[in-house]
Structure 1
Amino acid sequence: MRPPSELTFRAVALGLLIGCLLCFTNLYFGLQTGWISMMSLQSSLLGYLISLLIPSVSPLTPQENVILQTTAVATGTMPLAAGFVGIIPALGLLDRAKDGMDPIHVLWWDGVWWCCAVAFFGVFLAAPLRKQVIIKEQLAFPSGTATAQLISVLHKIPPPAAARPGLRHRNGHTGSEDGYQAVRTVEAGGDIDEDAEDPGETDQKREEIVRAGWTTLGWSFAASGSMTLAAYFFPVIFAIPLLGDYLASKWLWTFSPSLSYVGQGIIMGFPTTVSMNLGMLVGWGVLSPLSKKAGWAPGDVGSMTDGARGWILWVALAVMCAESVVSLIPVVLELLRVLRANRDGHPEEDLETETEDRLVPMKWVLWGTGGSVVFGTIIVWYVFGSEGIKPWATVLGFGMGAVLSLLGVRALGETDLNPVSGLGKISQLVFAIVQPGNIVANIIAGGVAEAGAQQAGDLMQDLKTGHLLHASPRAQFHGQLIGSVLSIFVTTTAYSLYKRAYPIPGPNFPAPTAYVWLSLARLLRDGQLPAYSGTFMLAFGILGLSVSSLKTWAGLQGKWWAKWVPSGVAFAIGFLNTPAFSIARLMGGIVEFWWRKRTGGNRSANITLIVIASGFVLGEGIVSVVGLVLRTFGIGVASCWGCAEGVCPSC
């Protein structure tokens, strides 16, 4: 059987290249802040620009671009799907005295095997869901729709029907650690020409596109990379004691003018960064000093065990779980409605637009799902042993992953939010009953469920893009598998290099979500909370339920102000990270808001903004590898001048 025409070598190769860059970048930022980016919009844009530099008989087609970004996303998001920004560091924090087990430090080969165990289950789950949620119910999947719209603009074809001006869709967040990643919808405005397709585009025009795109990307990449390299030798650049040495050293109030954080703020958008900074002000400006002064957190403020940072973590966990519960309620109700309609035998029109040879055969799904469960169970048993998690419990974990993935995919399609963190926590709750007292089993089971939901959600967003642009679902399925296979080795190698050069968790890479996983597992075993944290968890949990309910209702009703209701997850991320990580992102959000107001939704200006943000993010993520090499060879900082005591992780 011949492969679909869009599954070309150049599309897959470019997707793998971009995906590897994103993999290093996402691991770097994920270990720092717990927030990673799906980067589907950026992958499409970068792939298009690179393709224009490659001499070929014909330019990259829109369908090839779909395959390119599908492959790139699969490769770039493995650090989250396989738990290298949360699950794996959490296992390294185990303590014999507290947990009854020594820390589990995953070696390179063990990491590869673990990735193999969880990398494909969600991919096979997504394929049969496509017909229900994309074809029959036509769920929005706003980020997938936005990517399709961007590709149509880049390739000068009429915009997809579901993305044309005047049709309502919602902005929001998609799965990131600890749960969510923001992707702003590309607002093309009214200047998209229905007859924009121009097969006779001149070479001069193509050269202008390449020159403008690469110039913008090059300057933004160079600026961010140069600042990153300078900050390696002079750490104060990323740890400015903006409010004085006392607040910096004792209360961790510093400012990091990282252009990559600014770029992430642009991608997140102004409403999300405002929510994050609101959480920062409440967590670090109110609750942190309150818990310290009241004696509830007697240790150093930055301690995750007995300090204020560890104390406010519990409040953040309550907010995240509250929003996850609220986001799932309408999804469950809608799922029950659909099941009831199917049971009553209501006829449904078959709206499938693809032929059988372009769809994923059901026998592939059955064999792939069954094989990934059996193979994954054996691998998990091999890596962690029966003392870690029983084989039957791993099978149960995969089963829960299938159910939770269904909920996650529907939530993503309706709200652009995949509550993977909350879904993982649900699995932890169940395994507190199934294997009580076993910390390792609790964390691993949550990781299996989260991986399935993450992979299924990523592919479903991509399938929505492909459906709007008439790309082959089978070709996208192949691209996802190819990207996942390569990323197994890239992710594990990158983590091993960082682990060899830096302590993880540690000052440079605090891996905040690792503490979330471990803390919940310990709570479910011991039932003990830090002093008075339970009271604040209850209060903020109720507040989170109320605000999230309002946001969910407003979003479903299409209210224009829904995006301005604070995001619970972004609010909680402001608690988990020190102020240095949030302030720069707010600057990016302000830039995004000002830019869009100033340009009035002009499509060329919006694409330029995406290019700038991409250069900022990739610049620090890629150049950080240079710092990794320098540290490996024993080349340290040049000067610690200006650093507040105990603030600089390198001094």
Structure 2
Amino acid sequence: MAGASKPVELSFRGVILGGLICVVFTAANIYLCLQSGLTFSSSIPAAVISMAVLRPFRSSGILENNIVQTIASSAGTLSCLVFILPTFLMIGHWVDIPFWPSFWICASGGVLGVVYSIPLRRSLVTGSDLPYPEGVAAAEVLRAGEATREGGDDAAEARLGLRAVITGSIASAIMALLVGTRLLASEVAGYARFGAAATGMTINMQLALFGAGHLIGLAAGMAMLTGLVMAWGVAVPVMTILHPANLPAADLAMDVWRHKVRFVFAAALAVSALWTLVRLAKPVAGGVVSAIAAQTRRRAGETLERTEQDLSFGWIGALVVLLLVPIGVLIHGFIAGTPLAPLELPLMVAGIVFVAVTGLMVAAICGYMAGLIGSSNSPVSSLAIIGVICSAGLLSITVEPWLGIEARPALIALSLLVAGFVLGVATIANDNLQDLKTGELVGATPWRQQVALIIGVIAGSLVIPPIMVLLGHAYGYAGVAGAGPKALAAPQAVLIATLAGQFIGGTLDWSLLGSGALLGVGFIALDTLLERRWALRLPPLAIAFGGYIPPGTISIVIIGAVAGHLYEAHADRRAKNPGQAALVRRLGVILASGLIVGESLVNVVLAGATAAAKTGFLAVRDSDWPLALVGSDFALWGMALAVVVIFGTVLLLYRWAARLGLQS
């Protein structure tokens, strides 16, 4: 059949649909990110929407749906650039968000992230055993939908998979709606003082994060648990003793974590990331050599398999050179008319080289992080912190002695700009390799996915500036002069702006970063010892995640990892043969994928309702909780109900999925 030999993949209708989904999800993610510092992955919801919309078209199939989710996937990651854009308002460099500079910061960094991650595909995706939880989840969703449509030998199992993903989606959607009504608490928290020390724990009641935990596996989960215990069982209590304050236990513990402990683990994360880069040097070099060899074979007339065709090195080189032009123009715009003007040419050259070289290293680190924990849960903001530290450090050492302290405001702005480009590379490289893993599993053409993601980056970059202007005028941003009580918190932007100012201003607490660096070395030594003695792994990056990511987020991920391991152990014990055990395991993965799908879709709806309430389009009693059925006085009951209902639902879902597989 012609349709089978040449399936539809990169189509006009797919590009339009993917672009529309990207625009909607980018807008929702911007608001959520500025409000809470979190984003949700748009890959799986986009895949589900695409399958539903394109199903009536006979020529549509899994490859076209994969392109749609690839384009849309940039929404969740590119939105992380709001970690940087508000900082220019906070330091007074901008009075509003200008469209074209903001667009080019997002687009040039994002497309550079796509380009830099292309040579990494062979080493970090094809030749790696990293789990890529969201990439695998998206592939399972796409394959389940495709198999039920086509029939054949795998149709029966595919129908079971589709039942699992739909059931998981419905369950998590209902739970998310109940959380939105406040009948179930969004988090369960407990904090207390122990003498002069204060500590505690928060658990987010999010089945999407629970599902992500199932997908990342026990090893990464245990490493994160190690970091969580070190942060909240050791560092926070000790720091609260050393820095006492007359605050409630929860406020004191969270304040110390935000301003002290998180900096320590950010430094540990930086050291772990650099170590990861060293370990990846050989496989990454191998991937580049493999890519060059493939290009040589292509030039010699050999036709590569469709599933091995990346964008050529000629295109990669041309795009890199082309992208350095707007980067240089923006750097010029930030320097012109400031005390930095006498050094404009060397600063432009240095800035371009910094972005080009640092971006390449960051792409490799982010690819590894995406494979380990997923793009949604990767602490990309830590790489923004590293970028600010590196750029601000170099500028303060090399430029400030020549131009004096009057150049500090311009130096801060320039360091943030350069960090913004690096962050763009980080976020999209993080996403691209996740998408390429999905593509590998469904038989996609890599170069078409890479083109699709570039389209998604451009679409998202067009949306980010006007949405930020709208939100800025409606609410304002914390840390900006004149911000009112309803200002969006923008937690990462506040942290990054503060860090850049303290670094160049000479007020940064180096003891925290030094302690964190030593801690990172300790993580590396522990992992090396375990690997050599007992063939076990506690990835240093994952340990650092445990202390750096907010406790509510990381705790539910860890619970999901442990629960997923117990589910798979149960499958191995009860199955009649290895094939049946593998089926039960796959149903668990698909069920976990469904948990991510349902909640992500509901989060889009809730974000829209919240934005409508806050802008006055929706008249409700509490604009922060537009669907609320109860008030804050129901909080204790809400926490109790959340624990019983959500974890009870997980238990029932696991039992149902296991029975489904064991009876087939």
TM score, norm. by length of structure 2: 0.69
1:486 to 459, 462, 469: 459
Q: Distance in 1 between matches of 2:24 and 2:116?
A: 30
SS at match of 1:56: coil
Report what 2:268 is aligned to.
319
Residues 1:225 and 2:227 aligned together? no
SS at match of 1:567: helix
Residues 1:12 and 2:15 aligned together? yes
Residues 1:400 and 2:354 aligned together? yes
- Cα shift readout 1:508-558 (whole Å, capped 9, x = no counterpart): 96444334423432343244345xx71x54344222222135447878x89
Residues 1:641 and 2:633 aligned together? yes
Q: Distance in 1 between matches of 2:133 and 2:260?
A: 40
Q: Distance in 2 between matches of 1:251 and 1:583?
A: 15
Q: Distance in 2 between matches of 1:631 and 1:146?
A: 32
Q: Distance in 1 between matches of 2:124 and 2:220?
A: 31
Residues 1:596 and 2:568 aligned together? yes
Instruction: Please say if residues 118 and 376 of structure 1, whose CA atoms lie closer than 8 Å, have aligned partners that are also in contact.
Output: no
Q: Distance in 1 between matches of 2:528 and 2:339?
A: 38
Residues 1:445 and 2:418 aligned together? yes
Compared with structure 1, are the counterparts of its residues 510 and 588 closer, same or farther at alpha carbon in structure 2 (3 Å cutoff)?
Answer: farther
Shift of the alpha carbon at 1:16?
A: 3.5
Q: Distance in 2 between matches of 1:89 and 1:409?
A: 24
Q: Distance in 2 between matches of 1:88 and 1:327?
A: 28
2:235 to 287, 292, 297: 287
Residues 1:151 and 2:139 aligned together? yes
Q: Percent identity?
A: 19
Shift of the alpha carbon at 1:145?
A: 9.8
Shift of the alpha carbon at 1:610?
A: 0.6
Instruction: Please say if residues 322 and 541 of structure 1, whose CA atoms lie closer than 8 Å, have aligned partners that are also in contact.
Output: yes
1:50 to 52, 75, 83: 52
Residues 1:517 and 2:517 aligned together? no
- Cα shift readout 1:79-110 (whole Å, capped 9, x = no counterpart): 12xx21x213444443xxxxxxx374543xx2
Shift of the alpha carbon at 1:29?
A: 5.2
For 1:54, the aligned partner's letter is R
For 2:500, the aligned partner's letter is A
- Cα shift readout 1:383-435 (whole Å, capped 9, x = no counterpart): 89654987654553343222223323444566736886446244443344354
Shift of the alpha carbon at 1:254?
A: 5.5
Q: Distance in 2 between matches of 1:558 and 1:498?
A: 54
Instruction: Please say if residues 221 and 616 of structure 1, whose CA atoms lie closer than 8 Å, have aligned partners that are also in contact.
Output: yes
Report what 1:87 is aligned to.
84
Q: Distance in 2 between matches of 1:497 and 1:49?
A: 32
Residues 1:73 and 2:73 aligned together? yes
Report what 1:561 is aligned to.
536
TM score, norm. by length of structure 1: 0.71
Compared with structure 1, are the counterparts of its residues 408 and 306 closer, same or farther at alpha carbon in structure 2 (3 Å cutoff)?
Answer: closer
SS at match of 1:562: coil
Compared with structure 1, are the counterparts of its residues 302 and 500 closer, same or farther at alpha carbon in structure 2 (3 Å cutoff)?
Answer: farther
- Cα shift readout 1:313-342 (whole Å, capped 9, x = no counterpart): 332222222212211222346667899999
Q: Distance in 1 between matches of 2:611 and 2:169?
A: 23
Equivalent residue pairs, number: 576
Residues 1:623 and 2:625 aligned together? no
Structure-to-structure mapping, 1:39-438, within 5 angstroms: 40=43, 42=44, 45-46=47-48, 49-50=51-52, 54-61=55-62, 63-80=63-80, 83-84=81-82, 86-94=83-91, 102=92, 104=94, 106-107=96-97, 110=98, 113-123=101-111, 126-127=114-115, 130=118, 134=122, 139-140=127-128, 142=130, 147=135, 151=139, 154-155=142-143, 213-228=165-180, 230-231=181-182, 237-238=185-186, 242=190, 256-266=204-214, 269=217, 271-272=219-220, 275-276=223-224, 278-295=226-243, 302=251, 309-332=258-281, 353=304, 360=311, 364-379=315-330, 386-387=337-338, 392=345, 393=347, 396-411=350-365, 416=371, 421-422=382-383, 424=387, 425-436=389-400, 437=408, 438=411
Segments of 5+ residues of structure 2 without an aligned counterpart are 1-5, 373-377, 401-407, 479-484, 572-580, 623-629, 637-664
Instruction: Please say if residues 87 and 514 of structure 1, whose CA atoms lie closer than 8 Å, have aligned partners that are also in contact.
Output: yes
Compared with structure 1, are the counterparts of its residues 246 and 287 closer, same or farther at alpha carbon in structure 2 (3 Å cutoff)?
Answer: closer
Q: Distance in 1 between matches of 2:303 and 2:321?
A: 26
Q: Distance in 2 between matches of 1:143 and 1:461?
A: 10
Segments of 5+ residues of structure 1 without an aligned counterpart are 95-101, 159-194, 645-651
For 2:67, the aligned partner's letter is I
Q: Distance in 2 between matches of 1:222 and 1:356?
A: 38
- Cα shift readout 1:574-617 (whole Å, capped 9, x = no counterpart): 4xx3x444444444444433333344553233212211222124
Residues 1:632 and 2:649 aligned together? no
Instruction: Please say if residues 113 and 363 of structure 2, whose CA atoms lie closer than 8 Å, have aligned partners that are also in contact.
Output: no
Q: Distance in 1 between matches of 2:153 and 2:392?
A: 55
SS at match of 1:119: helix
Structure 1 window deviating more from structure 2 (445-454 vs 130-139): it is 130-139
Shift of the alpha carbon at 1:142?
A: 3.5
- Cα shift readout 1:415-473 (whole Å, capped 9, x = no counterpart): 73688644624444334435443222112211212212433443344345546655334
Report what 1:543 is aligned to.
519
Instruction: Please say if residues 259 and 617 of structure 1, whose CA atoms lie closer than 8 Å, have aligned partners that are also in contact.
Output: no
Shift of the alpha carbon at 1:623?
A: 0.8
Q: Distance in 2 between matches of 1:145 and 1:590?
A: 15
Instruction: Please say if residues 292 and 308 of structure 1, whose CA atoms lie closer than 8 Å, have aligned partners that are also in contact.
Output: no
Instruction: Please say if residues 136 and 438 of structure 2, whose CA atoms lie closer than 8 Å, have aligned partners that are also in contact.
Output: yes
For 2:52, the aligned partner's letter is I
Compared with structure 1, are the counterparts of its residues 261 and 288 closer, same or farther at alpha carbon in structure 2 (3 Å cutoff)?
Answer: same
Q: Distance in 1 between matches of 2:473 and 2:251?
A: 23
For 1:224, the aligned partner's letter is A
For 2:235, the aligned partner's letter is L
Instruction: Please say if residues 24 and 622 of structure 1, whose CA atoms lie closer than 8 Å, have aligned partners that are also in contact.
Output: no
Instruction: Please say if residues 119 and 455 of structure 1, whose CA atoms lie closer than 8 Å, have aligned partners that are also in contact.
Output: no
SS at match of 1:528: coil
For 1:329, the aligned partner's letter is V
For 1:548, the aligned partner's letter is I
Shift of the alpha carbon at 1:353?
A: 1.6
Instruction: Please say if residues 141 and 412 of structure 1, whose CA atoms lie closer than 8 Å, have aligned partners that are also in contact.
Output: no
Instruction: Please say if residues 119 and 287 of structure 2, whose CA atoms lie closer than 8 Å, have aligned partners that are also in contact.
Output: no
Q: Distance in 2 between matches of 1:550 and 1:511?
A: 35
Instruction: Please say if residues 72 and 483 of structure 1, whose CA atoms lie closer than 8 Å, have aligned partners that are also in contact.
Output: yes
- Cα shift readout 1:264-308 (whole Å, capped 9, x = no counterpart): 545555555555555454444543443343347788885899866
Report what 1:571 is aligned to.
546
Q: Which has the higher helix share?
A: 2
